[in-house]
Chains A and B, each alone.
Chain A
Amino acid sequence: MDNEEDPPLSWRQTRELFAADHARLRRALAAQLGAEPALTWLHPGAACVFLFRVAHHLWRRGHRKSARLVSQLGTLATGGDFHPASAFGPGLLVPHPTGVALMGGAGRNLAVMSRSGTGMLPKSRDVGAGMGLPFLGDDCTIGPCCGIEGPQRVGSRVRLLTGVALMQDVPDDHDVHAAHPGTPGPRPATAPPRAASAPCPHASLRATLRDFVDDLDAYEAQGRGRADPARRRRMSALLTTQALALGLYRASHCAHAKGWPRIAAALARLNRAVSRATLNPASCVGGGWYLPHPTGVLFNGRAGKGLVLFAYSIAASPGAAFREPAEHGPAIGDGVVIAAHSRILGPVRIGDNVRTGFSGHVLQDIPDDRLVVTPGCRAVLAPRAEPPAGPTGAGAEPAPRPKTGAPCSRRTGRASSTTSGPAGRSRAWLCAFPRRGPACGSSGPRRRRSRRGALAAPSCSGSSTWRGRAPT
């Protein structure tokens, strides 16, 4: 995060930063696909970084409200939640931005894989990114399912492999992996479902509105003491993805309590599409729910007042069943804080004032006032064996383009993978269109279909497509 005395960025500087980000994304896609990608501007990884750069530019120039608005727009469009005050050097690469939440600072060429992020802890230490925020050096890579929480200083050329909860400093040139992978063992037993609870009060529209106002108050309460005064205003709270997700959930739960299941299911599906949070309308949650990063959150159960759910947290039944009653999920007390990547599975009872650490794993009842920690996710450091690779950002020599093998033909343009149901077939169909068409010498309707497919494929499948043109 930038400091107050940091000078504002000019548009030229912002353009140069994004040009470096975009060039790195193009190189990564070209290496992955084996051909020059087309229309990478529509790739979610490019869109989220572009909107973040614009939001950061506005933030540095003092337009805090506009910056937050652009940031929320990026969250809605791509699922990536980057705080506009975060300062990242050129070459930022986020190939799968859905649910990635980033706060803090980093040098050049940061790469963040799927289901990862960095976050703040309310500590007074400042390592260069602001109080309580992490700072990473150059050429760092955050692997899948990793998290860096709190004011940790991470050196240059550090690589987090997978499933790491990093809460300590790391020197340069180190690999970090989790202490324990999954180990063979018996499948955990599942507790029997709880008895049906008393009907919740949310059939009343007044009670639903009261709890929604409490949710907004919880958001404003979390903003007290922060540098951003806009966070403390009601309108600012209403324009967040949290308010959108919780408002749709409250409406769907009210419809469910009134006995309108179709309306409740439709609102829950809309919520899942817009905010990407899966909040079962049968769940009953008290007021004051704080949900800062709704993307990827799954909740099916009951909870009291003041629930806090951080990114990627899950409180639900352990299986894959749809439309399960809330009695198959956990019953959570008041004032519970569930940290990022945590899961509370099955019909367990969680007492009041319980908190979990990163990747907390709860399958049994927890009494009041307990802290659940997960030693298996602690970070283990190891010096990197191979010499570190050189920087690949804007200032570095661009990587050589890969050479494609077979010439383009209609056969090679066809999707080669085994499809996985209608969704997979539609993705393969969309990806195949741009590969046929112009490169195959076609024209007219086929060329138009190719362009439409290239426009639609990144949004529908997350995959950038190309037109089969051999790189020169």
Chain B
Amino acid sequence: MAWTGADMRPWSRVGPGLLVPYPACVSISAVAGRNLTVLAVAGLDPRPEDVESARARTALPRLGDDVTLEHHAGVVGPVRIGSGVRLTAGARVWSDVADGEVLVHAPVRVQRRARSTGPLSVEAIAAPPAGAAADPG
């Protein structure tokens, strides 16, 4: 971690053909098959509530062969990801995924904005998007 920035837990079991081209901020704590590809700032993590228990070592994501995580993709918790699954950039998963699926990120919205007056006046970004009110359910 100190040299590359990648955090690969020693209890992870990853098959041959692992490719991590941009290791900074990559975390791998999972059981995976052959030819796993993990791009920049992607990760396979335990659930947050398991980090301080032995389940951090046992409740791992289980991935099949030829799984690809593109930039910013992530898998969290003890879920099963089938073979040949591709998580495109920004796709995050916390439930099971069948073989061969391609998961994509939710679409974004592009809106016009007034020209700002300062270098970092990002008040518009701070405002939650429409419909972002708290949903207690």
Residues in A lying within 8 Å of B, measured CB to CB: 24, 27-28, 31-34, 44, 77-79, 93, 95-96, 98-99, 111, 113-115, 121-123, 141-145, 149-150, 159-163, 167-168, 177-188, 218, 221-222, 272-273, 276-278, 290, 295-296, 298, 306, 308, 312, 314, 316, 318, 320, 322, 335, 337, 339, 341, 343, 345, 353, 355-363, 366, 369-383, 392, 399, 402, 415-418, 420-421, 423-424, 427-428, 431, 458-463
Q: Which residues of A contact B137 (CB under 8 A)?
A: 382
Residue in chain B with minimal CB distance to A169: B134
Q: Which residues of B contact A185 (CB under 8 A)?
A: 102-104
For window 1-24 of chain B, which residues contact chain A by CB distance below 8 Å? 1-16, 18-19, 21-22, 24
Query: Is B91 an interface position by the 8 A CB rule?
Result: yes
A159→B90 CA distance, assembly (Å): 21
Cβ–Cβ contact A168 & B89, under 8 A: no
CB-CB nearest 5 A-B residue pairs: A376-B106, A182-B91, A462-B1, A182-B103, A296-B25
**Closest-CB distance, B56 to chain A (whole angstroms):** 5
Cβ–Cβ contact A187 & B10, under 8 A: no
* 0/1 string, B47-79, CB within 8 A of A gives 1: 111011110110000000000001111101000
A318→B118 CA distance, assembly (Å): 31
In the complex where A161-B94, A369-B112, A402-B54 touch, is A462 in contact with B7 (Cβ < 8 A)? yes
Cβ–Cβ contact A372 & B108, under 8 A: yes
A99→B114 CA distance, assembly (Å): 32
Q: Which residues of A contact B80 (CB under 8 A)?
A: none
Residues in B lying within 8 Å of A, measured CB to CB: 1-16, 18-19, 21-22, 24-25, 27, 37, 39-41, 43, 45, 47-49, 51-54, 56-57, 70-74, 76, 86-95, 101-116, 118-132, 134-137
**Closest-CB distance, B54 to chain A (whole angstroms):** 5
**Closest-CB distance, A84 to chain B (whole angstroms):** 21
Excluding A98-B1, A373-B129, 16 further A-B contacts by CB distance (< 8 Å) are A96-B27, A99-B25, A113-B45, A143-B76, A161-B47, A162-B74, A181-B93, A183-B103, A184-B101, A187-B104, A276-B5, A296-B40, A298-B24, A306-B119, A355-B113, A361-B108
A174→B90 CA distance, assembly (Å): 24
10 contacts between A and B (CB under 8 A): A32-B56, A78-B1, A99-B24, A181-B91, A222-B120, A277-B24, A318-B89, A420-B18, A421-B16, A458-B1
In the complex where A182-B105, A417-B12 touch, is A27 in contact with B113 (Cβ < 8 A)? no
In the complex where A183-B106, A378-B129 touch, is A295 in contact with B24 (Cβ < 8 A)? yes
Cβ–Cβ contact B71 & A79, under 8 A: no
A275→B110 CA distance, assembly (Å): 32
- In the complex, the number of residue pairs spanning A and B with C-beta atoms less than 8 Å apart equals 330
Cβ–Cβ contact B24 & A463, under 8 A: no
Q: Which residues of A contact B103 (CB under 8 A)?
A: 181-185
Q: Which residues of A contact B13 (CB under 8 A)?
A: 417-418
**Which of B49, B57, B106 touches A375 (beta carbons < 8 Å)?**
B106
In the complex where A121-B122, A162-B92, A182-B92 touch, is A373 in contact with B48 (Cβ < 8 A)? no
**Which of A95, A179, A182, A377 touches B104 (beta carbons < 8 Å)?**
A182
**Which of A359, A379, A392, A462 touches B8 (beta carbons < 8 Å)?**
A462
In the complex where A32-B57, A337-B120 touch, is A343 in contact with B90 (Cβ < 8 A)? yes
**Closest-CB distance, B94 to chain A (whole angstroms):** 6
Residue in chain B with minimal CB distance to A462: B1
Residue in chain A with minimal CB distance to B48: A143
In the complex where A115-B43, A184-B101 touch, is A375 in contact with B109 (Cβ < 8 A)? yes
A298→B136 CA distance, assembly (Å): 37
Cβ–Cβ contact A308 & B119, under 8 A: yes
Residue in chain B with minimal CB distance to A114: B27
Q: Which residues of B contact A339 (CB under 8 A)?
A: 122, 125
Residue in chain B with minimal CB distance to A43: B1
**Closest-CB distance, B13 to chain A (whole angstroms):** 5
Cβ–Cβ contact B89 & A361, under 8 A: yes
Cβ–Cβ contact A187 & B120, under 8 A: no
Cβ–Cβ contact B111 & A371, under 8 A: yes
A163→B22 CA distance, assembly (Å): 20
Cβ–Cβ contact A114 & B43, under 8 A: yes
**Which of B24, B43, B111, B131 touches A370 (beta carbons < 8 Å)?**
B111
A320→B1 CA distance, assembly (Å): 21
In the complex where A167-B126, A180-B106, A378-B129 touch, is A115 in contact with B53 (Cβ < 8 A)? no
Residue in chain A with minimal CB distance to B45: A144
**Which of B10, B54, B71, B115 touches A415 (beta carbons < 8 Å)?**
B10
Q: Which residues of A contact B126 (CB under 8 A)?
A: 121, 123, 149-150, 167
Cβ–Cβ contact A373 & B109, under 8 A: yes
**Which of B8, B47, B113, B132 touches A427 (beta carbons < 8 Å)?**
B8
Cβ–Cβ contact A78 & B2, under 8 A: yes
A418→B15 CA distance, assembly (Å): 7
A28→B56 CA distance, assembly (Å): 9
In the complex where A34-B54, A179-B106, A184-B103 touch, is A357 in contact with B27 (Cβ < 8 A)? no
**Closest-CB distance, A360 to chain B (whole angstroms):** 7
Cβ–Cβ contact B70 & A318, under 8 A: yes
A318→B43 CA distance, assembly (Å): 16
Cβ–Cβ contact A188 & B88, under 8 A: yes
A123→B126 CA distance, assembly (Å): 9
In the complex where A184-B101, A185-B103 touch, is A111 in contact with B52 (Cβ < 8 A)? yes
**Closest-CB distance, B53 to chain A (whole angstroms):** 5
Q: Which residues of A contact B106 (CB under 8 A)?
A: 179-180, 183, 361, 374-377
A99→B119 CA distance, assembly (Å): 24
Cβ–Cβ contact A357 & B125, under 8 A: yes
